[in-house]
Amino acid sequence: MGCSRSKEIQGGCGEVTGMESIYTALSNRPVRDGIRRTRENLSKNVKENLKKYPFLKKYARELRDVKLKVINDLDFWIDRSIKKLEENGARVFYARDSESARRIVAEIVGSGKTVVKAKSVVSEEIGLRDHLEDMGNEVWETDLGELIVQVNNEKPMHMIVPALHLSEDEVIRILERVGIKGKNAEECTDKVRLFLREKFLKADFGISGCNAFSAESGSIFLIENEGNIRLSTSVPEKYIAIVGVEKIVPDDEHAIKSIMVQSAYFGTFPPSYINVIRNRQPGELCVVFLDNGRKSTDEILKEQLLCVRCGRCHLECPIFQLTGNVWGGETYGGPMGMGWSAITSGISSIENEVFLSCLCGKCRIVCPMEINIPRIILHLRKLAVRQTAK
Amino acid sequence: MDLNHLRNEIEEKRKMVREDMDRYIDIFVRSLKASSSEVEVTTDPEVVEKYRRDIQEDGGNSIVTFADSASVSPAILFFTGLEQEISTAMADHHISVILAEDIMPDVISAYRLALLKSIERGHGVIFGSSSASKTADIEGKLVWGAHGPKRFRVVVVR
Ligand code: SF4
């Protein structure tokens, strides 16, 4: 599929740097229109959700305290989670970095297999799909938006709405490349449903991330609206979950609260589907816990680990509204992408980009976890300056 | 996990709903309709058989299942078991029957009731549904039936 996605800019495969692609993105009207449309739809929903279900704000505050406790004692909670999963009959792995995570999953999957993937930012973080494809596997993203960006060989423009920058006509043309022919959004969706049904039925492995993990029961909690996660995690005989260690919460109650908060603050509440997997019998459940910098963050950056990945801060950020996911690091993007990129790829991955934030603080206001993102960005600026001065 | 404690907790919640059943069912129905689900409240004990006969005659890809629990608002129905999860995920039309006594006042107690049943049955999977499958991934246009059921119908049996 051609060029490296890290260097790609919308509409071409030129060899451009991160900063150049940001400046190019500024003149990309469809990105701005897509973000505006998504924001208009979802912001209204968020307000309504919080008004209709006032307990959500209470859940969010409680969750912040509970997640903080876990993050301050990660080793204890990782150990407890691993023990519980093993009791449940799962195969459990621990990956210190993205390379070891890729290696673990590649060893489980092998080659010549068909893999169906649920949308998972953590799998983007470790570059899993490309790696599995390079090993001779057929890998399909099964979330509609994610499939569209996979076929178009670009990175998701938003972690929850990956194809928000593409028009209906563009999507029609993109899907035609894999033989999916529809005249409009409805027909395309129906044809994708049929196309991917066949992949689900023949898949050897299903792979997902994890929205929340309960150390109490050793369960993976996932939410969605399409039903592709349900199919990816249940139909193939073998299922692999990749769990960022910050997703651990002490018990099922807080896992439920976490997924409720995530979906409400994103703007689709209640989620159409909740999937909770404690074991996979018949079949096999493999769980890969991923550190990749999470355990060694400094005190200020640590706050970013409270993030429930609702994607709210992206849509409300004035810089993201201009650039989309091109700004904010390779995987995460947007204001939360500053902290996440520094944690998972090091400060050099965003050493210029941190200076593009206008520090307006809107991200902090809309964040359900009340993460002080401007403080994180200021801190990263200091680290970037120090690094450059070395 | 202390199962006796879980059972007592669920019984308390059940009592709460029983004492104000009409109001709870009314809220439940409204919440489901807000998610564009179809809802029917009945006292007919034969309703499940009726639906099973209908879908057999119809020959379409429909399924009738019993939900293990549900929360009032937001209305989410919980089920257990991998086989049932696969068959409901693959169906075009999911008809779900819920006994009024299994409706819980909140999502956490509804989840706990499903959890208890899953442990008692040795099921490793719990899944919840609040509507038919949907997506707005193409230009924000809402389309029903992305991968899962295109229709979701809930039958409340009193
Ligand atoms: S930083 Fe806050 S608003 Fe942004 S994705 Fe994370 S939880 Fe949501």
Which residues neighbour B19 within 8 Å (Cβ) at sequence distance 6 or greater? Answer: none
Same domain, A135 and A110: yes
Residue with CA closest to ligand 1 atom 4: A313
Q: Which of A294, A310, A339 is at the close of a domain?
A: A294
Output the residue whose Cα is nearest ligand 1's atom 8: A310
Considering the domain architecture, whether residues A217 and A80 belong to the same structural domain is answered as: yes
C-alpha distances out from residue A186 to A147, A167, A316, B131, Å:
16, 14, 28, 18
Strands A114-117, A138-141: pairing kind = parallel
Helix (H, G, I), strand (E, B) or coil at A74: helix
Q: Using alpha carbons, select from A355, A353, A293 the residue that is nearest to residue A326.
A: A353
Report yes or no: B143 and B62 within 8 Å, Cβ to Cβ. no
3-state secondary structure A129-161: HHHHHHCCCEEEECCHHHHHHHHCCCCCCCCCC
User: Same domain for A245 and A330?
Assistant: no
Q: Which two tokens stand for residue B69?
A: 């629990």
Give the C-alpha separation, A333 to A159, whole Å. Answer: 8
Exposed/middle/buried for residue A154 (C-beta within 10 Å: 0-12, 13-18, 19+): buried
Residue A119 lies in a domain: yes
Range of the domain at A79: 74-294
**A216 plus A316 within the same structural domain:** no
Fold for the domain defined by B3-157 = Rossmann fold (3.40.50)
Q: Look up residue B71 and give its amino acid.
A: S
Structure-block tokens of residue A72: 């301050």
Is the CB of A367 within 6 Å of ligand 1? yes
Nearest to B85 among A162, A234, A282 (CB): A234
**pLDDT digits (tens), chain A, 390 positions:** 333 333 333 333 334 456 788 888 888 888 889 999 999 989 999 999 999 999 999 999 999 999 999 999 999 999 999 999 999 999 999 999 999 999 999 999 999 999 999 999 999 999 999 999 999 999 999 999 999 999 999 989 988 999 999 999 999 999 999 999 999 999 999 999 999 999 999 999 999 999 999 999 999 999 999 999 999 999 999 999 999 999 999 999 999 999 999 999 999 999 999 999 999 989 999 999 999 999 999 999 999 999 999 999 999 999 999 998 889 888 999 999 999 999 999 999 999 999 999 999 999 999 999 999 999 999 999 999 998 887
Contact A155, A337 (CB under 8 A): no
How many domains, chain A? 2
d(CA B142, CA A164): 13
In a domain, A12, yes or no: no
Q: What are the helix and strand counts (H, E) for chain A?
A: 17, 10
Q: Is A1 inside any structural domain?
A: no
Give the best residue of A272, A275, A279 to mutate against chain B (max B CB count within 10 A).
A272
For tokens 């209906």, name the residue.
A168
| Chain mean position to CA A102 | 16
For residue A90, give the chain B residue with the closest CA. Answer: B124
> Residue B17 contacts by C-beta under 8 Å, 6 or more apart in sequence?
B24, B72, B101, B103, B104, B105
Q: How far apart are CA B27 and CA B15, in angstroms?
A: 17
Q: Quick check: A335 and A314 in contact, CB under 8 A?
A: yes
A48-78 residues labelled b (16+ CB within 10 A) or e (exposed): ebbeebeebeebbeebbebbeebbeebeebb
- Ligand 1 atom 2 nearest Cα: A367
Cα–Cα distance measured from residue A230 to residue A235, given in angstroms and rounded to the nearest whole number: 8
- Same domain for A108 and A255, yes or no, is yes
- Interchain contact, B140 vs A143, CB within 8 Å: no
Same domain, A221 and A307: no
Q: Both A325 and A234 in a single domain?
A: no
Q: Are B77 and B128 in contact (CB under 8 A)?
A: yes
Residue A139 lies in a domain: yes
Among candidate residues B99, B103, B105, B112, the one with its CA nearest the CA of residue B47: B99
CATH number of the domain residue A384 falls in: 1.10.1060
- Maximal C-alpha separation, chain A: 57
Is the shortest distance between the CB of A310 and ligand 1 below 6 Å? yes
User: Quick one: closest CA in B to A161, which residue?
Assistant: B137
Whether residue A84 lies inside any domain: the answer is yes
Do A151 and A282 lie in a common domain?
yes
DSSP A333-384: -HHHHHHHHHHHH-GGGGTTGGGG-----HHHHH-TT---HHHHHHHHHHHH
Ligand 1 contacts CB of residue A374 (under 6 A): no
With DSSP H G I counted as helix, E B as strand and the rest as coil, what are the percentages for chain A, rounded to 5? 55, 15, 30
What are the helix (H) ranges across B40-122? 47-58, 82-90, 107-121
Place of tokens 């009032």: B72
Residue A132 within a domain:
yes
Kindly report the pTM of this predicted structure.
0.95
Q: Which of A103, A84, A193 is nearest to A147 (CA)?
A: A193
Q: What is the dihedral of CA B38, B44, B49, B52, to 10 degrees?
A: -10
List Cβ neighbours of A297 (8 Å cut-off, separation of 6 or more): A304, A305, A343
Do A257 and A375 reside in the same domain of the chain?
A: no
Residue A366 resides in a domain: yes
User: Do residues A213 and A93 share a domain?
Assistant: yes
**Encoded amino acid at B47, one letter:** V
Q: Check residue A227 and give its pLDDT.
A: 98
User: Tokens 């790696």 belong to which residue?
Assistant: A131
- Here the CATH number for the domain that contains residue A112 is 3.40.50.10420
Nearest-CA residue for ligand 1 atom 6 is A307
B97-143 pLDDT, tens per residue?
999 999 999 999 999 999 999 999 999 999 999 999 999 999 999 99
- Asked if residue A78 and residue A158 are part of one domain, the reply reads yes
Chain B residues whose beta carbon lies within 8 Å of the beta carbon of residue A277: 124-125
The answer to whether A300 touches A77, Cβ cutoff 8 Å, is: no
For the packed helices A55-71 and A252-266, what is the interaxial angle rounded to 10 degrees? 120
Q: Of A237, A267, A294, which closes a domain?
A: A294
Domain-terminating residue out of A294, A321, A356: A294
Minimal CA separation from B90 to chain A, in Å: 8
Question: Of B88, B135, B144, B151, which to mutate for an interface test with A (greatest number of A Cβ within 10 Å)?
Answer: B135
Do both A319 and A382 map to the same domain? yes
A321: in domain: yes
